[in-house]
Amino acid sequence: MKILVTGGAGFIGSNFIHYWLENHPEDEIINFDLLTYAGHLESLQSIKDNPHYSFVQGDITDAKAVDEVVSKVEAIIHFAAESHVDRSILDPLIFTKTNIMGTQVLLEAAKKYGIKKFHHVSTDEVFGALPLDSDTKFNETTPYNPHSPYAASKASSDHIVRAYFDTFNVPITITNCSNNFGPYQDPEKFMPRLITNLLIGQKVKIYGDGKYVRDWLHVIDHCRAIDLVFLKAAPGSTYCVGGMTKDVNNLEVAQKVIKLLGKNEADSIEFVTDRPGHDRRYAVDWTKINKDLGWSPQYDFDSWLEKTVNWYKENETWWKPLKEKSESIYKK
């Protein structure tokens, strides 16, 4: 199968390409990426000469460029998106353009060229937030209630994707995933930011009281879930993908990393002013994908966290050049 992967130089996309070529070596992948601040071809250095892999630089909002690559493939897996909540507060318009308009451009091309499978990668943030003192979790029937410009743009893209299935019979599937972590994640995001801060002798920056809860999903578990949904799920299906069985708040995540790195907690944490519209709690019920497709996380959170910390310890040459620039958004 010839597959177009949009945003394949980004964190999740690059991990997915590595995963797919390892597990489906007979397939061909075209990586279509604009190479914004979040796109790093260094993450794909080890496969750049693989005859089953090619890279095309382009913008998903550019209909002509999209037409050209979509005409060459049979399927699309759509990762490309602006995805950082803090950046969406600073510049909401680019999120509207990329996440909504870009997705529609891709869907138009998919319709035009009769694409056999179109998988849309989305987020649990489209559902809004949950109270800290509740056992409620997001699932596939949770009403949409986005709070940030990022979440609103992804919610809109989800609706457009479903509309193209209902109206034009484009064979789509959707996954709404929780917060990913793992190798090749830009150090501006929470998990790699706290790990890399500690590695260079700086304090971990914690918003507010640190009691914000996220459902953490390791990127390889996410890739495994997309694999199953892409190949086995019925067209029109949506699956929620999470990685946790119990809540762990941001402060507890930081404490776990501090312990793994042998640091002193009292000297390693700095509480900073909270960001606007900060959702209190996310939690994902992944029962449906478990029952329908047999998916579950490969390892528990603590095991994946240790593997992630070790990756950043061993790959300073990848993240150090990105560190200073990634910190700049927090100084605006």
> What are the angstrom distances between the C-alpha of 186 and each of 9, 108, 181, 183, 200?
11, 31, 10, 9, 16
Active site residue 144: no
State in Å, rounded, how far the first CA of the chain is from the last one. 45
Query: At 239, phi and psi to the nearest 5?
Result: -130, 135
Active site residue 150: yes
Name the 3-class secondary structure at 175. Answer: strand
Q: Is 207 exposed, middle or buried (0-12, 13-18, 19+ CB in 10 A)?
A: middle
| d(C-alpha 283, C-alpha 158), whole Å | 19
Active site residue 125: yes
Q: Which of 28, 33, 82, 125 is catalytic?
A: 125
Q: Which of 28, 33, 124, 188 is catalytic?
A: 124
Q: What is the DSSP string of 198-260?
A: HHTTPPEEEETTS--B--EEEHHHHHHHHHHHHHHSPTT-EEEE---SS--BHHHHHHHHHHH
Q: Which of 150, 164, 184, 212 is catalytic?
A: 150
- Active site (catalytic) residues: 124-125, 150
